[in-house]
Chains A and B, each alone.
Chain A
Amino acid sequence: MGRFIVTRLSETIATLLLGNILCFTFLRLLPGDPAVAMYGEQFLRLSEADQQRITENLGLHEPIYSQYMKWLGSVLHGDFGHSYRTGEQVSTIIARAVGPTILLMLAATLLILVISISLGILSGLKRHSAIDHAITLGSFVFMSIPTFWFAIMLMLVFSVHLGILPSSGIGKGGLLDWLKHLVMPATVLALSHIGYYIRILRNHLALTINKDFIWAMRVRGLSTAAILWRHLLPNVSVPFLSYVGMSFTLTLGGSVVIESIFSWPGLGRLTLDSAIGHDYPVIMAALLLTLSTVVFGSFLIDLVCAWIDPRVRKSILHKEVTSR
């Protein structure tokens, strides 16, 4: 297990570093002079000597790798510079947006897990029954509806026609108001991703049920309940969990759309607004934050999988077997 953690951790760090370099390259590839980007149009009105001085102060005359090291240093200290649009510290802006996004993600993830686990198991155990067909059809439909359109349709029904749920914002006073604002965004986010989770669970369950060892358990006279809880579900949980880890990116991406439709003051909306306003320091910070969250999230999930399943612990060692 120790070796698994070390190997997996080094992979995680490599991924983070690579992502970091990608982001930096992206920043440098942007059209225009970084000094202009940082100080705005007024930079161009300065004298040549002043421009020279500022460029040197920013370290822009240095070779690219030392610029990268400097940038990495400041990023590690949480210093992403200032927003082009508001001039505020990027870290402040981000910190303000993180809370609502975490809230939205938690609510959506909870919904996804509860619904997909129950329906996925039901569907997988009763394969080819009417209920399986209904669940399958439902998951396909939700997989196919564009998230934004689904959100608008819900708004049309619940905010415009019925008028029972607010259509935008995060709410101000009281738990109830707050929940009311949360319901629609979280539901849309959850439902638009839930189909994949249900399908994964169903298909792996169907696959595992047909394995010989399940048959062997029945031949040893074990009850169906024991086989389900002690053998089937643990075996299915590993691919399911690793999908949860992998698809975290997708849910985060989905929150960009949801947040802008429901005017949810989170990270997704911030990113979109910044992108439209060409506010690169903010985009960069948001990207790096997303990257780190996703990478660490999947690291943690892998640890859980390895803890549950001896084969996962081994796989990381066995895949390194090479000839010669």
Chain B
Amino acid sequence: MKWKGRHIVTWSGFYLLLLAILTATAPFLTFYGPLEVNLDAVLEPPSASHLLGTDELGRDIWSRLLYGGRVSLTVGFAAMLVSLFIGVSYGALSGFIGGMVDRFLMRVVDTLLSLPSIIVIIGLQVFFPKSMLTIMLLIGLTSWMPIARLIRAEVLSLKGEIFVQASAVVGASPHHLLLRHVLPQTMPTIAVMAIGGVSHAILTESTLSFLGIGIPPHEASWGNMLTGVQTYILSGGWWVALFPGICITLTVLAVTFIGDRMQDRFALPQLKGGESI
């Protein structure tokens, strides 16, 4: 897709880079700690001392936004890696082995896909302690199925490709075929899925944290900054709700633009968007 040309993709990349720099250098850019409670300055509107205002406990929103960004981006990236790892290995094995094994493995995927991931996460989190690591794992564990399905379909068709058989004829063994010829061909799909995975993970993390079952409150994240925010907006504290939401939206949007660009470059019509909550 060429619309607005490359500019929008360039801007997206620029925005993400800026975000990474800002969150990485957060201690130098803030005057308050993200967890610093100040009951004398509760729900203050944006001002010179508190750039973006304060929340219900008097914590500085600008500071929380930067530190929260660290958490949200880390979770987004790590969860994507988890789901990519599971999805690619599961899908590649299923497709490469084929036959009954493949049929069974795919049925499992179908079943898991039929359960809304948010409900599964809610159910599963009783087994784990509440922490950032848990959230990464849970999001990863519940979002690998579409990747597995796509990779499996590609591996299945690649396995029958003439060039793969041609390599077998010159003496390549099955693991050569898988690692040298089949998997590298799925790279475009993997890249696009990875990008989709990041935005899915950021959105899911924020939703879970908002619902109070994600990142525990003692750590700031864009999602848990919004927990219980309905009450404050009723009393006019719009800034508490506005800024974290904008951050999430812009970040996911930037990632999506880049992903769409890549998908377009690799032209994968079978990709049908990702999952969202």
A and B found bound together? yes
Chain B residues positioned under 8 Å from A252 (CB to CB): 116
B interface residues, how many (CB within 8 angstroms): 54
Q: Which of B23-31, B49-57, B105-113, B184-192 contacts A (4 or more CB under 8 A)?
A: B105-113
Shortest distance between the CB of B152 and any CB in chain A (Å): 13
Shortest distance between the CB of A265 and any CB in chain B (Å): 17
**Quick check: is B203 within 8 A (CB to CB) of the other chain?**
yes
CB contact between A156 and one of B110, B122, B241, B248 (< 8 Å): that residue: B241
Instruction: Knowing A199-B273, A257-B207 are in contact, say whether A144-B253 is a contact too (CB < 8 A).
Output: yes
Instruction: Knowing A11-B107, A18-B111, A287-B119 are in contact, say whether A144-B199 is a contact too (CB < 8 A).
Output: yes
Task: For chain A, residues 196 to 251, give those with C-beta under 8 angstroms from any C-beta of chain B.
Answer: 196, 199-200, 203-204, 207, 239, 243, 246, 249-250
Task: For chain B, residues 3 to 25, give those with C-beta under 8 angstroms from any C-beta of chain A.
Answer: 3-4
Q: Which of B78-86, B165-173, B228-236 contacts A (4 or more CB under 8 A)?
A: B228-236
A250 x B127 contact (CB < 8 A): no
A275 x B123 contact (CB < 8 A): yes
**Quick check: is B117 within 8 A (CB to CB) of the other chain?**
yes
- In the complex, per-residue mask of B135-161: 1 if CB is within 8 Å of any chain A CB, else 0: 000000000000000000000000000
B107 x A155 contact (CB < 8 A): no
A276 x B107 contact (CB < 8 A): no
Main secondary structure of the interface of A (DSSP, over half): helix
B111 x A19 contact (CB < 8 A): yes
**Quick check: is B218 within 8 A (CB to CB) of the other chain?**
no
A156 x B253 contact (CB < 8 A): no
A-B contact pairs, 28 of them (CB 8 A): A15-B114, A19-B111, A22-B111, A22-B112, A128-B2, A128-B3, A132-B3, A140-B256, A141-B253, A144-B252, A146-B207, A147-B277, A152-B226, A152-B229, A153-B241, A155-B233, A160-B233, A193-B276, A200-B272, A250-B116, A250-B277, A253-B119, A254-B276, A283-B119, A283-B123, A290-B115, A290-B116, A291-B115
Q: Which residues of B contact A (CB under 8 A)?
A: 1-4, 99, 107-108, 110-120, 122-123, 126-127, 199, 203, 206-207, 210-213, 223, 226, 229-230, 233-234, 238, 241, 244-245, 248-250, 252-253, 256-257, 260, 269, 272-273, 275-277
